[in-house]
Amino acid sequence: MSELYIRVAEDENEEPMEIPSEDDGTILLSSVAAQFPGACGLRYRNPESQCMRGVRLVEGVLHAPENDWGNLVYVVNYPKDNKRKMEEIDAASAVKVKRGFQKTSDLIVLGLPWKTSEQDLKDYFTTFGEVIMVQVKRDLKTGNSKGFGFVRFTEYETQTKVVAQRHMIDGRWCDCKLPNSKAGPDEPMRSRKIFVGRCTEDMTTDELRQYFMQYGEVTDVFIPKPFRAFSFVTFADDQVAQALCGEDLIIKGISVHISNAEPKHNNIHQLFPNFPGGSASLAAMFDRSQYQFPSSHV
């Protein structure tokens, strides 16, 4: 079968778009997703039964029904059509709206001038939004500032804005961070990234992307080089990533294990006791890396 185009639409009544097939007559889900971001499959109305039918999808490859795409208009499936998953995502979403989303937290302010007072801090940060609380940490005996403090805002949006930039306060550059967190202004959100364990060396980034896009929009795939039997997949939506954690999935006939890519302090020498070049080079490599093992692999 040579190159052909099949008609795909967002909805049965929408204007279809032509999507190219592969040489073997299949269509890559990624080709569909290129025009319909977030697409996870196709369906069509069976002319005989008038029922909607799903198109066979195997590891990112869509197969023509009866080996012939015919002249039908195919309709895009999105992850939200999965009712079971949707309930989970709704629940997670509700939790997030109630707690995480608009819940502000104290921010640590590092690098304050010794002379900066709490009133100075309040005056400065109020230019970004309403301030709930400011603190300057001081030596109890002398009353001298320790050069850092805390601030808390009413609005989460204000907090986001403040953390994302540096601050000139009384003549010094200061940083605002989440306490006990090395997370910088543009650190990738951990919760959108999953750890894919038990990968084989022949799995490519394209294949992983095509596979995982059935669950939601994939924004990044990372495979460490040289081969290390795991990879990272980042979704546009963190709830999709969270929903996959703990699952064993079959990719190219191989069972891979999904877990959270949360940072964790691990003993890397236990994981690779005989790493070539010795433990020092291994440690250096890991120190430079933003990628870490999930707790289930420790």
Contact residues toward DNA (CB under 7 A) are 105-106, 108, 110-114, 135, 137, 140, 142, 144-148, 150, 172, 177, 179-182
Compute the residue count for the chain. 298
CA distances from 60 to 64, 181, 214 (A): 13, 37, 8
Output the smallest distance, CB 104 to DNA, in A.
11
CB nearer to DNA: pick between 151 and 233: 151
Residue 106 or 262 with smaller CB distance to DNA: 106
Closer to DNA at the Cβ: 105 or 295? Answer: 105
**Least separation, in Å, of the C-beta of 89 and DNA?**
30
DSSP secondary structure of 191-230: GGEEEEES--TT--HHHHHHHHTTTS-EEEEE--SS--SE
d(CA 198, CA 260) in angstroms, rounded, equals: 14
Nearer to DNA, 55 or 109 (CB): 109
Q: How buried is 112 (Cβ within 10 angstroms: 0-12 exposed, 13-18 middle, 19+ buried)? A: buried
181 vs 290 by CB, closer to DNA: 181
Query: What strands, in cross-sheet order, belong to the sheet with 27-28?
Result: 27-28, 61-63, 56-58
Q: How far is the CB of 139 from DNA (least distance, A)?
A: 8
Minimum CB–partner distance for residue 195 and DNA (Å):
24
Shortest Cβ distance from residue 263 to DNA (Å)? 14
Q: Are 172 and 111 in contact (CB under 8 A)?
A: yes
Q: Which residue, 16 or 111, has its beta carbon nearer to DNA?
A: 111
User: What's the min distance (Å) between Cβ of 147 and DNA?
Assistant: 2
The backbone torsions φ and ψ at residue 131, rounded to the nearest 5 degrees and listed phi first, read -100, 130
Residue the block writes with tokens 């900066």: 116
